């Protein structure tokens, strides 16, 4: 994003954890209402998510980026990424989380977060990038618009229920570097 853009993408730090947690909780509640149980969504707390992300932030190879609104200084989106989890080739990296507040979607923040994450992963030797996305996620098309292909499906256990998820793959990370 250029300097005249109202948003800045920068590395996330421990000082950002509570705002990161707020973005996650708020976006889950808006995007997944009707897909996940209301009591599960309403029971999510910023405090619990901040603790969860503090553990993640300290893990080897795990990185965070935040999108900050320049005028207000608040975090409006974030990405969490690093080496692929599970048994995957070393040159396959993963976006673990990508969330942008609903009122800031559609203005290029998600694209900027993915592109910046891809650049970082490429510098670490990644050739490909993937993300797991809930099948019922209303924003799944975002990944397809960025050129990702649905390549695998599985289920994830949330709130004592199984939910279907889809792996979106960018086979050539270079396609994301200049978005």
90 falls within a domain? yes
pLDDT, residue 1, reads: 47
Structural domain contains residue 140: no
Is residue 152 in a domain?
no
What's the pLDDT score for residue 24? 98
- pLDDT tens, position by position, 23-72: 999 999 999 999 999 999 999 999 999 999 999 998 889 999 999 998 88
* pLDDT tens for each residue of 144-178: 999 999 999 999 998 888 999 999 999 999 999 88
Indicate whether this model's pTM tops 0.85.
Answer: yes
Owning domain of residue 91: 7-126
Q: Does residue 168 fall inside a structural domain? A: no
- C-alpha 38/C-alpha 117 separation (Å) is 32
Q: What is the pLDDT of residues 83-140, one digit of tens each?
A: 998 777 889 999 999 999 999 999 999 999 999 999 999 999 999 999 999 999 999 9
| Res 3: pLDDT | 59
Q: Is 63 contained in some domain?
A: yes
DSSP-assigned letter for residue 16: G
65 belongs to a structural domain = yes
Domain count, the chain: 1
pLDDT (mean) for 2-10:
81
Residues ≥6 apart with Cβ < 8 Å to 81: 62, 63, 65, 93, 94, 95, 96, 117, 120, 121, 129
The CATH number that applies at residue 113 is 3.40.630.30
How far is it, in rounded angstroms, from Cα 131 to Cα 79?
11
Judge whether 87 lies within some domain: yes
Q: Are 179 and 115 in contact (CB under 8 A)?
A: yes
Contact criterion met (CB below 8 Å) for 66 and 78: yes
Residue 58 lies inside a defined structural domain of this protein: yes
């Amino acid at each position: 994003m250029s300097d005249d853009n109202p948003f800045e993408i920068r590395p996330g730090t421990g000082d950002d954890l509570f705002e990161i947690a707020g973005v996650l909780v708020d976006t889950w509640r808006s995007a997944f209402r009707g897909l996940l149980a209301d009591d599960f969504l309403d029971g999510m707390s910023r405090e619990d998510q901040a603790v969860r992300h503090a553990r993640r932030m300290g893990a080897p190879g795990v990185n965070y980026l935040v999108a900050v609104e320049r005028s207000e200084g608040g975090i409006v989106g974030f990405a969490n990424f690093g080496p692929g989890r599970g048994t995957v080739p070393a040159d396959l990296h993963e976006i673990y989380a990508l969330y942008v507040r609903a009122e800031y979607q559609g203005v290029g923040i998600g694209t900027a977060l993915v592109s910046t994450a891809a650049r970082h992963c490429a510098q670490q030797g990644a050739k490909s990038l993937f993300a797991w996305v809930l099948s019922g996620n209303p924003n799944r098309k975002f990944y397809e618009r960025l050129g990702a292909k649905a390549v695998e499906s599985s289920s994830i256990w949330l709130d004592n229920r199984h939910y279907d998820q889809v792996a979106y793959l960018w086979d050539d990370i270079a396609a994301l570097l200049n978005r």
